Amino acid sequence: MAHTAPDETLALLTRIGQKPGVQSTLILSRETGAIVRTSGLVANDASANPNATLPPAAENGAEGSITEKKSGLQSAEELARLVWGFVNAAGTMINGLDENDEMKLLRLRTKKNELVIVPDSKYLLVVVHDTPPA
Amino acid sequence: MSDPRSRAAAIEEKRAKLLAIKREREQRNRDLQSSRQSLGHTPGEGSGYSTPIRTTDRKDIDNLVNALVGQGRSSSTGPRDGASPARGSRPQSLGSGGQLSGGDATSPIRTNGRVVQMVSSQTQTMSTDDTVTYNEPALPKAKPEVAMYSRAVQTSEEWTPPGQQSTGVGDDTVDWEGQSTSPRTSKRISKREREREDEIRTNIRREVEEELKALQLGGTDALGGTAEPNFPSRTLNDDELKAVTSSEDFLDFIERSSKVIERALETEYDILKDYALGSMIDEEDEDGYGTSKGKKGRRVKEVAQFYSERWSKKRTITSLDFSPKFPELILASYTKSPLHPHDPTGLLQVWNIHTPSTPEYTFHSPSDICVAKFSPFHPNLILGGTYSGQVLLWDTRSRNPAPVQRTPLTGSGHTHPIYCLDIVGTQNAHNIISASTDGVVCGWSVDMLAQPQEGLELQAPDKKTEDCSPTAIAFSEADPTYFLAGTEEGSIYTCHRYDRAGAKAGVDQRVVYRGHTAPVMSIDFHPQRGPLDLGDLVLSSSVDWSVKLWRVKPPASVAAGGTTGNIHAVKPLLEIAREDLVYDARWNPVRPSVFAAVDGAGTLELWDLNLDVEVPVAKVVPSEDSARGLARRGLNKVAWEKNEGKKVAVGGLDGVVTLFEVGADLGGTEGVKAEEWAKLKRAVGRWDPKSAVVAGASAGMFSPVNGR
| List of residues 6+ apart from B143 with CB closer than 8 A | B183, B184, B186, B187
- Supply angle C-alpha B481, B485, B486, rounded to 5: 165
Closest approach of A99 to chain B, Cα-based (Å): 17
Give pLDDT < 70 ranges for chain B.
Answer: 1-6, 31-190, 213-236, 268-270, 272-296, 463-466, 502, 555-566, 625-632, 689-708
pLDDT above 70 for A104: yes
pLDDT of residue B541: 93
**pLDDT at position B3:** 61
Do B351 and B382 contact (CB within 8 A), yes or no? no
Which residues from B are below 8 Å from A34, CB to CB?
A: 234-236
CA distance A69 to chain B (A): 23
Is the model's pLDDT at A14 over the cut of 70? yes
Tell which A residues from 74 to 133 touch B, by Cβ distance under 8 Å: 77, 81-82, 84-86, 88-89, 92, 105, 107, 109, 116, 118, 120, 122-123, 125, 127, 129, 131-132
Query: What pLDDT was estimated at residue B88?
Result: 41
3-class SS at B579?
A: coil
Q: Considering the entire predicted model, what is its pTM?
A: 0.61
What integer pLDDT is reported at residue A102 of this predicted model? 86
CATH (residue range A23-129): 3.30.450.30
Contacts of A29 in chain B (CB under 8 A): 244
pLDDT, position B127: 42
Confidence at residue B217, expressed as pLDDT on a 0 to 100 scale: 55
pLDDT of residue B632: 60
**pLDDT on residue B520:** 93
The interface pTM score, or ipTM, of the predicted complex is 0.71
pLDDT at B332: 93
What residue in A sits closest to B215 (Cα-Cα)? A85
Interchain pair B221, A45: CB under 8 A? no
B158: how many CB neighbours lie within 10 A of its CB? Answer: 12
Is it the case that residue A49 has pLDDT exceeding 80? no
Q: Where are the domains of chain B?
A: 300-692
Question: What's the pLDDT score for residue B583?
Answer: 93
Write b or e for each residue in A47-86: b if 16 or more Cβ atoms lie within 10 A of its Cβ, otherwise e.
ebbeebbbebeeebeebbeebbeebebbbbbbbbbebbbb
The mean pLDDT value for A106-133 works out to 84
The edge-to-edge listing of strands for the beta sheet with B618-620 is: B582-587, B594-599, B604-608, B618-620
Between the alpha carbon of residue B525 and those of residues B38, B99, B519, B552, the distances in Å are 69, 72, 18, 9
CATH 2.130.10.10 describes domain B300-692: yes
Q: Does B246 touch chain A (CB under 8 A)?
A: yes
B430 Cβ contact partners less than 8 Å away, ≥ 6 residues apart = B377, B423, B424, B446
